[in-house]
Amino acid sequence: MSHSEESHESVNYEDAGVSTWAGAKAVEGIKDMVRSTYSPQVVGDLGGFGGLFSLAEAKTMDDPLLVSGADGVGTKLEIARLCNKHTTVGIDLVAMCVNDVLATGAKPLYFLDYIAAGKIEPDAIKDIVSGIVEGCKQAHCSLIGGEMAEHPGVMKPSEYDLAGFCTGIVDRKNMLDPEDVVPGDMLIALPSSGLHSNGFSLVRKVCIEGKSLEELNKPLALLEGKSLLEALIVPTKIYVDPLLRLLKRVDGGVRSLAHITGGGITENLNRALNSRVDALIDPSLWSVPPVVSYVCNAAHLSQEEAFKTFNMGLGMVLVVPADKYQEVTACLRSMDEACVLIGEVVPGSGEVKLKERAPEPPKTDHPSEHIHPYITNDLNPGGKWV
């Protein structure tokens, strides 16, 4: 066919695989949920080219600092797909961002999301956003904007990915600073709700690949009667509310904070230290959640590898002055927040070190369903994972 004979039939955006109608319907379906997160500081409504948020409260601060963070959920999304449950990964998305911002002592102000999908299905988008909304409510954070993108030809119709962006605020004088950490400080941990949102590429390789859905949905005694998928899909815990209240109630009670995410304990707690100190932690002082122990055993991880891959049951670690220990733990107990002493700060060079031979673990400062007993089984003799 010559160039002059080529067809010139019209091809629209939908012919290329993008449904603007589905996108509009998806937005309409989430409007009320999104508005339910609005604080009085939100200006305007959905539909503008940018989200607006008042910083009037910064006028009361001596030197206000904005703190921003961005993160995703990673391959935990594949667990959501296997479970056919998409209402909790949005909580994970918010948690990964707001907990990072919180580590500076900042209060999260607002959140934005990005959802990329092979094909936009309004009902599926509504499920995902419902989790984001729930996470924002837990963090007292306004969802002021976002983007939904359809990627035909790049992603399969059933595939999607998430990214989140958060901004918080803190007065410079109240900012948590690792430079303030000194030998003798105590390390107090708040429990994780499970694996949170890290290490799932390894989890999928050793626990998911090669197994049928029937196997993955089977209740397991090692997981306290939960199926593997049920244990893995549990959303990341959000620590904003109790820790902001703690920082307000106990002046000088926390020198620095470490959010335990990718890199585990040994490669996150060091970020809360300076070059003059080490964190010496005692692994026998807390109980590891069953799902974490299960995965570590399945992967045959050494203790060193486990501690630099997973949170090992610790979601946030507080560096606390020794003379504030009792006041801090009492404050956490008053909020029904579980906590446990996991070690101390010693002279060093900014490293995290594990105590090799430790005494039998004491009870936590405040019992919680989030702190599980050691698992005793053939893979984990004696109840202590090694």
DSSP 141-168: -EEEEEEEEE-BTTB-TT-EEEEEEEEE
Mean pLDDT computed over 50-66: 95
Mean pLDDT computed over 154-183: 96
What's the pTM?
0.87
- Give dist(CA 43, CA 37) in Å, integer: 13
Mean pLDDT computed over 88-104: 98
Residue whose tokens read 């486990």:
306
Residues 6+ apart with CB under 8 A from 136: 37, 94, 111, 142, 143
- Give dist(CA 184, CA 298) in Å, integer: 37
- Decide if pLDDT at 68 tops 80: yes
Helix, strand, coil % over all residues of the chain, rounded to 5? 35, 20, 40
Mean pLDDT computed over 169-176: 97
Whose CA is closest to 120, among 26, 32, 16?
26
Enter the tokens of residue 216. Answer: 């993955």
In percent, the amount of the chain with pLDDT more than 70 equals 86
Question: Which comes out higher in pLDDT, residue 311 or 369?
Answer: 311
Enter the tokens of residue 109. Answer: 């102000």
Mean pLDDT of the chain: 88
Mean pLDDT computed over 123-140: 96
Q: H or E segment at 316?
A: strand 314-320
In this structure, are strands 107-117 and 160-171 parallel, antiparallel, or unpaired?
A: antiparallel
Q: So what's the pLDDT on residue 46?
A: 80
Query: What Rg do the C-alpha atoms of the chain give, in angstroms?
Result: 23
Confidence at 327, pLDDT banded by 50, 70, 90: very high
Mean pLDDT computed over 245-258: 98
Q: How many CB atoms lie within 10 A of CB 236?
A: 29
- Give dist(CA 383, CA 352) in Å, integer: 24
Start-to-end CA distance of the chain, whole Å, equals 72
Q: So what's the pLDDT on residue 31?
A: 86
Let me know the angle formed at the C-alpha of 341 by 335 and 343, rounded to the nearest 5 degrees.
Answer: 150
Alpha-carbon separation of residue 157 from 17, 94, 118, 228, 253 (angstroms): 10, 24, 4, 26, 50
Do the Cβ atoms of 198 and 77 come closer than 8 Å?
Answer: no
Q: How many CB atoms lie within 10 A of CB 214?
A: 8
